[in-house]
Amino acid sequence: MAKTLILMSLLSILGCGRPAASPQPGKPERHLTSIEYGGTHGYHSHSNIDYKAERMKDGRTRVTVMVGNDRDRVFVEDGSVMDTLEALVMEYKMYKYDKTYTPKFDILDGDSWHLYQHFSDGSSASCGGYEATPPGKGAEGLAKIAGYLSRWLDREPAEDVALTAFRYELHNEEGTEVYWFKKDPYHNAIYFRKMGSLEGCNYYCGDPELLVRMARAMRWHHLGSYTGEKLEKENTSRPRWIVVAEYENGQKFEIMDYLDRPEEGDEWNRREVPSISEWGIRSDVEHFFGQEIERIGNLPPEELGDHSVTTYDAKGKPQRTINYDGHGNVLNGRDYNDPMKDF
């Protein structure tokens, strides 16, 4: 009994057995207020990724995702997000990591990382590494931070989900190309007319996820800051490309540019050569709309529903439109040259 009492007294004096994270009496508890983690990743698909999480005044968490030159994506989540990150920081004592970690030998095109932390008591900690991580469980801690934050990597912010209509047009010497999508409560209309074709097809069974993909493409190619021409001043005799986007809040985005003019002050003549932004958005339009067109082509009649095909002349003037049911049977039609022949 005496030995037990002596042992308990020693433990009490040394402080052993108490949780290390327990706040001291009279000292305010320290909380993580912001954390940023990211780095460069050699030849990976996302070469530069940065995540930042901040505790907002109302207790919620603001998560910002930055990938390469893409515009920042911001998400507002509940406070549990920051609590989870704080628990990881405390569990792995990330505030004690060394400033810098490097390998013993030089490595080219490797991975680098950085971690910045700020706390409610005004303190902060920063560290980073190149092809090296903290010893012991340090790498495991970083992997858990990266794994938790990566759930926002492929998510889209509300502004992208709120895109309700998208239209792309290309007019050049080869002809006209049009891709158009509109979402409403009753049906999702998709229209397309491929380059060199004299037929435009219209369906009412589009997948609204196509609009999310196009909103992402607009961000990727920085169309929000692209300086083109006013659509209202469109000169239909010149080769050009057009993008029109509409959002739930009534905002409308329009951009147009000509393909037959050189950039002022640039030795590279852009004549008949599209700009980088136009080339990029056209590539994504053809890719994403191509996937949607293929999906529609594989739908059974009951899901395909009514659709129509409009025929144009060489100058782009509509000649006639024929409406079909899902089985391909003709419902009715219109002759634009002679309305008396409508059926």
* Rounded Cα gap, residues 312 and 307, in angstroms: 17
Please name which of 221, 218, 82, 113 lies closest in space to residue 163, comparing C-alpha atoms. Answer: 218
- What is d(CA 155, CA 146) in angstroms, rounded to the nearest whole number? 15
- Helix or strand or coil: residue 117? strand
- The closest of 311, 333, 309, 307 to 206, measured between CA atoms, is 307
pTM of the model: 0.60
**Strand 32-40, strand 48-55: pairing:** antiparallel
The model's pLDDT over 27-83, given as tens digits with 9 standing for 90+, comes to 557 899 999 999 886 554 446 889 999 999 999 999 988 887 666 778 889 999 999
- Give the whole-angstrom CA distance, residue 62 versus residue 268: 43
State the Cα–Cα distance between residues 234 and 252, nearest whole angstrom: 17
Highest mean pLDDT among 22-31, 94-103, 191-200, 262-271: 191-200
Domains of the chain and any CATH numbers: 30-152 (3.30.1560), 158-299 (3.30.1560)
Q: Quote the CA–CA distance of 142 and 48 in Å, as a whole number.
A: 16
pLDDT band at 108 (very low <50, low <70, confident <90, very high): low
CB atoms within 10 A of CB 122: 8
| Pick from 114, 210, 197: nearest CA to 165 | 210
Taking residues 171-182, report their average pLDDT: 94
